[in-house]
A and B are shown apart, each in its own frame.
Chain A
Amino acid sequence: MLGEKRIKEIADSILARSTADQTEVVILSSDSYLTRFANSTIHQNVAETDTEVRIRVVLQRGGEDGAQVGVATTNDLDPEALARTLESAMDIARVQPRNPAFRSLPGPQPLPDVTAFSESTAGCTPEQRARGAGAICTLARDQGVVASGALTTATFEVGVANSLGVSAYSATTSADINTVIMSDTSAGYAAALALDVDDMNFEAIGREAVDKCLHAQNPRSLEPGEYTVILEPYAVQDFIQMMSWTGFNAVAVQEGRSFMVGRMGEQIVDPRISIWDDGLSPEGIPLPFDFEGVPKQRVDLIQEGVARGVVYDSYRAGKEEGKSSTGHALPAPNSFGPMPLNVFFAPGKGSLAEMIRSTERGIYVTRFHYTRPVEPKQVVITGMTRDGTFLVENGELAYPVKNLRFTQSYLEALNHVDVIGAEPRLLPGMGGLGRDSVPALKLNKFRFTGATEF
Chain B
Amino acid sequence: MKDLTDRALNLAETQGASYADVRVVQRRTQNITTKNGVVEGLSDNESQGFGVRVVVDGAWGFASSAVLTPAEVDRVTALAIQIARASALFKTHDVQLGPPAVQQGSYHTPVVIDPWSISLEEKIGLLLEANEGLRATPGVMVASASLALWRENKTFASSEGSFIEQEIVEVGGGIEALAIDRDTGEVQKRSYPNSFGRDQRSEGWETILAMDLPGNAPRIGEEAVALLSADQCPSGVTTIILGATQLALQVHESCGHPIELDRVFGTEASYAGTSFLTPDKYGSFRYGSDIVNLTADATIPGGLGTFGWDDEGVPAQRVPIVRDGIFCGYLTSRETAQQLHDIVGDGAPERSGGAMRADGWNRIPIIRMTNVSLEPGEWEFDELVADTDDGIYMEMNKSWSIDDKRLNFQFGTEIAYEIKGGKMGRMLKNATYTGITPQFWQSCDAICNEDHWQVWGTPNCGKGQPSQVAHTGHGTAPARFRNVQVGVMK
A residues adjacent to B (C-beta < 8 A): 32, 34-52, 69-77, 85, 88-89, 91-92, 95-97, 99-101, 125-127, 129-131, 133-134, 137-138, 146, 148-150, 152, 178-180, 182, 187, 255-257, 261-262, 332-335, 369-377, 380, 382-384, 386, 403, 405, 407, 432, 447, 449-454
Residues of B within 8 A of A40 (CB): 92
B489 touching A374 by the CB < 8 A rule?
A: yes
Please tell me which one of the listed residues B82, B90, B270, B400 contacts residue A149 in the complex, with CB atoms under 8 A apart. B270
> What are 22 A-B contacts with C-beta separation under 8 Å?
A39-B92, A43-B267, A44-B465, A46-B62, A47-B64, A47-B79, A49-B65, A70-B42, A73-B47, A76-B46, A89-B44, A99-B38, A138-B90, A146-B269, A150-B270, A257-B178, A257-B180, A332-B41, A335-B40, A374-B399, A384-B402, A454-B407
Residues of A within 8 A of B35 (CB): 335
Nearest CB on A from B441, distance (A): 15
Provide the bound-state CA to CA distance between A101 and B436, in Å: 48
Please tell me which one of the listed residues A50, A126, A182, A256 contacts residue B86 in the complex, with CB atoms under 8 A apart. A126
Nearest CB on B from A36, distance (A): 5
B187 touching A377 by the CB < 8 A rule?
A: yes
Q: Does B33 contact A (CB under 8 A)?
A: yes
Nearest CB on B from A393, distance (A): 24
Interface residues on B, range: 35 or more
Residues of B within 8 A of A125 (CB): 86
Nearest CB on A from B400, distance (A): 6
Please tell me which one of the listed residues B39, B467, B489 contacts residue A97 in the complex, with CB atoms under 8 A apart. B39
Please tell me which one of the listed residues B45, B67, B91 contacts residue A72 in the complex, with CB atoms under 8 A apart. B45
Stretch from B118-126, B286-294, B324-332 forming part of the interface with A = B118-126
Q: Does B483 contact A (CB under 8 A)?
A: no
A450 touching B408 by the CB < 8 A rule?
A: yes
Residues of B within 8 A of A332 (CB): 41, 43
Mark out the residues of chain B between 48 and 106 whose CB falls within 8 Å of any chain A CB in the assembled complex: 48-49, 59-67, 76, 79-80, 82-87, 89-93
Provide the bound-state CA to CA distance between A245 and B350, in Å: 45
Provide the bound-state CA to CA distance between A450 and B84, in Å: 43
Residues of A within 8 A of B64 (CB): 46-49
A-contact bits for B170-182, CB 8 A (1 contact / 0 none): 0000000010100
Provide the bound-state CA to CA distance between A376 and B430, in Å: 12
Provide the bound-state CA to CA distance between A373 and B189, in Å: 13
Provide the bound-state CA to CA distance between A99 and B34, in Å: 10
Provide the bound-state CA to CA distance between A377 and B187, in Å: 7
Provide the bound-state CA to CA distance between A69 and B363, in Å: 32
Residues of B within 8 A of A256 (CB): 141-142, 178, 180, 185, 187
Provide the bound-state CA to CA distance between A257 and B178, in Å: 9
Q: Does B138 contact A (CB under 8 A)?
A: no
Q: Does B299 contact A (CB under 8 A)?
A: no
Please tell me which one of the listed residues B40, B186, B270, B430 contacts residue A179 in the complex, with CB atoms under 8 A apart. B270
Q: Does B218 contact A (CB under 8 A)?
A: no
B90 touching A374 by the CB < 8 A rule?
A: no
A95 touching B90 by the CB < 8 A rule?
A: no
Nearest CB on B from A383, distance (A): 6
Residue of B nearest to A261 (CB): B185
A85 touching B46 by the CB < 8 A rule?
A: yes
Residues of B within 8 A of A407 (CB): 410, 432, 488-490
Provide the bound-state CA to CA distance between A148 and B404, in Å: 14
Q: If A134-B89, A450-B408 touch, does A383 touch B489 (CB 8 Å cutoff)?
A: no
Please tell me which one of the listed residues A45, A89, A148, A403 contacts residue B87 in the complex, with CB atoms under 8 A apart. A45
Residue of B nearest to A377 (CB): B185
Q: Does B481 contact A (CB under 8 A)?
A: no
Q: Does B421 contact A (CB under 8 A)?
A: no
Residue among B31, B38, B48, B408 with most chain A CB within 10 A: B408
